[in-house]
Amino acid sequence: MSRGAPPLSNNKDTQRILIGEISSAHGVRGEVMVRAYTEQPESIASYGPLSDETGKRTFSLRVVRVTSKGIVARIAGVDDRNAAELLRGIKLYVSRDKLPETDAAEFYYADLIGLDAVSEDGGPIGKIVSVQNFGAGDLLELKPADGSATEFIPFEDRYVPAVDLPARRVVIVRPDVTGSENDETGEAEEEAEEDERS
């Protein structure tokens, strides 16, 4: 993944990278709909056989077409809808060594999870425990060293100015915390009362 580029996710084994998921059966001839996490959706089939989360089952994909909902694909050995339905929800992984090397400002999720988070002066803050994207950009989930609740840090230069993979650490500048909506409402009510008194 990179700042602003489509992400690749990981599982607990950082040598295997999650690059897609079978979301549903499609049609009656055994085709499946696949949600691809590769930068170019159709390239998911270019990495050779993919494995499930356990690594025990493999799937050879052939892309039929790309749609707005995902990729329609055929899987070797799956010839009818019943067999395709059994694959719903299976996550598809590829060996890390089959993926291209990233550019200087690009990172796979697997590269970031587990990094120590430090402040700009090097003080410990916590650890990155996951990377999420809810539609508005990538977020690093930070587990603070003091044991408090996790928090999300936007994966942007101003909040994450440095990622040092060899040192297994990332520099974090926490966003300023603003008042809650209730606080703002309370302030507005106080101002209105003052206006009425004056």
Are the C-beta atoms of residues 98 and 47 closer than 8 Å to each other? yes
Domain identity same for 139 and 94:
no
Domain identity same for 149 and 126:
yes
Domain identity same for 94 and 34:
yes
Domain identity same for 86 and 156:
no
The last residue of a domain, from among 98, 125, 144: 98
Q: What is the pTM of this model?
A: 0.58
Range of the domain at 51: 9-98
| Residues near 45 by beta carbon (within 8 Å), at least 6 away in sequence | 61, 62, 63, 73
Band (pLDDT 50/70/90 cuts) for residue 183 is: very low
Total domains, the chain: 2
- Give domain status of residue 139, yes or no: yes
Q: Which of 86, 47, 194 is nearest to 18 (CA)?
A: 47
**CATH code for the domain of 93:** 2.40.30.60
Token duo for residue 27? 């049609």
Mean pLDDT score, 134-153: 89
Residue 176's pLDDT is what?
77
Phi/psi for 6 (5° steps) reads: -55, 140
Residue 11's pLDDT is what?
44
**CATH code for the domain of 118:** 2.30.30.240
Domain identity same for 79 and 142:
no
| Span 53-76, pLDDT tens digits | 888 999 999 999 999 888 999 999
Measured in whole angstroms, the distance separating CA 129 from the mean position of its chain's CA atoms is 12
